[in-house]
Amino acid sequence: MESPLLPGGTIGILGGGQLGRMSAIAARRMGYKVKTFDPSSTACAAAVADDHTTAEWQDRAALTRFAQDCGRITLEFENIPPATVEWVAQSVPAHPSAKVLATCQNRRREKEFLKAAGIPCAPFAVVTSLAELKQATQSIGFPCVLKTADFGYDGKGQVKLPDASADLAAAWEKMGGAVGVLEGWIPFQMEISVIVARTVDGRTAVYDPAENIHRHHILHFSISPARIPAPLLQTAKNLALEIAQKIELVGLLAVEMFVCDGKILVNELAPRPHNSGHQTFDAHQTSQFEQHIRAVCGLPLGGTEPLVPSVMVNLLGDLWHGGQAPDWTKVLNDPSAKLHLYDKGKAAPGRKMGHFTVTAPTLAEALQRAEKIFAALERSGK
Ligand code: AMP
């Protein structure tokens, strides 16, 4: 059994985005050294790392050099080739494994895993041709949604097919003819997500679900804990724990779920810190980023209790106008609001530039203050 990597050791993070940046901040706070690896030299995690490697995922010589003085390797980005993780894992324990990554980054494998594990999810069929798509709409029925198997997140690579008049050929064309998954459309009442951590020796910790509100398919607000009855909250946590065990997770896993007519259906898995867990930085006993580090290093896991109700609001590049950042005092003037900016440089529509978290004695108050701040921020840039 691999031994824990204690503070003072070096953690290598594959990927240099905001999830890596916040994981690195948590790791450094605990006394670890951090190295990041990303094809971009301006990756925002690099600024808080001890060392940054700029190289392609396929560059084995660079990966070997990167891994050399790491005691553990992890990742923060889902679309890394599993072969990259496999390569570094030959010399250093790497979590999550290439196998977990390969399952989660492909919708077909992910769905097939969930089905085989007996986890409730939307009905689906794998489609590899237009003829199969036509056939699948018969068994799944309308409305349904066609999704590409690879590289799908934040609503990318999907087409909704509302009824039998939908143009299947156009939908298939739009998918680029790649392998797809046709899913039944779930008339959900709420979207939630649960973050679960698991160590190499099977210890687990799970957070309460967060309630997620999207705008244009990108997370907008994350409300914690989700406003669902306690038994359903527990069901969601149990499902996440079951998935973590069955997939043999080591590290952190975010499980996105639909709440529909008092039942929970699992939508997606992400084996890394998740946007809907950012509020754990300011509102929970242990942040998801610290938990990520603890899990991959084999340390005792931290408490997951919410200390206070919270609402996290994403700050997308749409808030910038003519290169001008919005007026941050709108956030900072609220003494309970915490501003997190990722130092990403150029803002672009849809680009995640930062977030803020509002805490309050009640969820209703946190939500009201978060909405007010966001509206003021939006107005400030115009
Ligand atoms: P995904 O990229 O699979 O996470 O999907 C992005 C968003 O599309 C989800 O957060 C849902 O709002 C919506 N969505 C995806 N699949 C379904 C479905 N089967 N039924 C209803 N809504 C869906």
> Both 90 and 148 in a single domain?
no
Structural domain ending residue among the three candidates 184, 204, 232 = 184
Q: Which atom of ligand 1 lies closest to the CA of 256? A: 4
Question: Closest residue (by CA) to atom 8 of ligand 1?
Answer: 155
> Both 243 and 338 in a single domain?
yes
- Token pair for 159: 């087409």
- Tell how far the Cα of 154 is from the centroid of ligand 1, in angstroms: 8
Residue 247 counted as domain residue: yes
> Both 238 and 280 in a single domain?
yes
Residue 107 counted as domain residue: no
Tens of pLDDT, residue by residue, the chain (382 residues): 799 999 999 999 999 999 999 999 999 999 999 999 999 999 999 999 999 999 999 999 999 999 999 999 999 999 999 999 999 999 999 999 999 999 999 999 999 999 999 999 999 999 999 999 999 999 999 999 999 988 655 556 789 999 999 999 999 988 876 789 999 999 999 999 999 999 999 999 999 999 999 999 899 999 999 999 999 999 999 999 999 999 999 999 999 999 999 999 999 999 999 999 999 999 999 999 999 999 999 999 999 999 999 999 999 999 999 889 999 999 999 999 999 999 999 999 999 999 999 999 999 999 999 999 999 999 997 6
Q: Which atom of ligand 1 lies closest to the CA of 183? A: 19
- Token pair for 189: 């009442």
Residue 157 counted as domain residue: yes
The phi, psi pair for 180, rounded to 5°, reads: -130, 170
Can you give the CATH number for the domain in which 166 is found? Answer: 3.30.1490.20
Q: Which atom of ligand 1 lies closest to the CA of 184? A: 19
Question: Closest residue (by CA) to atom 17 of ligand 1?
Answer: 185
Residue 222 counted as domain residue: yes
Looking at residue 153, what is its pLDDT?
53
- By C-alpha distance, which of 258, 274, 276, 272 is closest to 222? 276
Residue environment code for 186-208, b if the CB has 16+ CB neighbours within 10 A, otherwise e: bebebbbbbbbbbbbeeeebbbb
Looking at residue 35, what is its pLDDT?
98
Looking at residue 12, what is its pLDDT?
98
For residues 252 and 169, give the distance between their C-alpha atoms in angstroms, rounded to a whole number: 39
> Both 165 and 197 in a single domain?
no
For residues 283 and 213, give the distance between their C-alpha atoms in angstroms, rounded to a whole number: 18
- Tell how far the Cα of 134 is from the centroid of ligand 1, in angstroms: 21
- Tell how far the Cα of 155 is from the centroid of ligand 1, in angstroms: 7
Which residues surround ligand 1 with Cβ inside 6 Å? 122, 145, 152-153, 155, 183, 185-186, 191, 214, 217, 256, 267-268
> Both 329 and 230 in a single domain?
yes
> Both 242 and 287 in a single domain?
yes
Question: Closest residue (by CA) to atom 19 of ligand 1?
Answer: 185
- Tell how far the Cα of 207 is from the centroid of ligand 1, in angstroms: 22
> Both 331 and 216 in a single domain?
yes
Structural domain ending residue among the three candidates 132, 167, 184 = 184
Give me the number of domains the chain comprises. 3
**Residue to probe by mutation, ligand 1, list 137, 263, 267, 314, most atoms within 8 Å of CB:** 267
Can you give the CATH number for the domain in which 47 is found? Answer: 3.40.50.20
pTM > 0.95: yes or no: yes
CA–chain centroid gap for 325, Å, is 25
Residue 304 counted as domain residue: yes
Structural domain that includes position 253: 190-380
